[in-house]
Amino acid sequence: MGYGETAGYIKLVINEHNNQLLGASLVGPDVSELLPELTLAQANGLTVEAIAQNIHAHPTLSEVLMEAAEAAKGHAVHL
């Protein structure tokens, strides 16, 4: 919505036993800008809690990563 677009989504695939990021699907304008944070998190075994606690400036596209991580924990702010 920050780009005036309403179509798109992000899906995080999480290991239910340890909350580590296994993968993700992203659809929308400029979502490739979000890949570095996700690949770094996946390569280093970070949890959704770590992703959610990372700083995501407002208003930016990266906030969708925080929202998706918070949603995976059951604490989404804007859903």
Q: What is the pTM of this model?
A: 0.83
Q: Is residue 4 part of a domain?
A: no
pLDDT band at 5 (very low <50, low <70, confident <90, very high): confident
75 given a catalytic annotation: no
Q: Choose the catalytic residue: 17, 56, 58, 78.
A: 58
Of 6-10, 32-36, 72-76, where does the model show the most confidence?
32-36
Residue-wise pLDDT for 12-67, tens only, equals 999 999 999 999 999 998 999 999 999 999 999 999 999 999 999 988 889 999 99
pLDDT at 32: 94
Q: Is residue 51 part of a domain?
A: yes
Split into its structural domains, the chain has a count of 1
CA distance 35 to 55: 16
- 73 Cβ contact partners less than 8 Å away, ≥ 6 residues apart: 19, 48, 49, 52
Q: What is the CATH number of the domain that holds 58?
A: 3.30.390.30
Give me the domain span that covers residue 34: 9-72
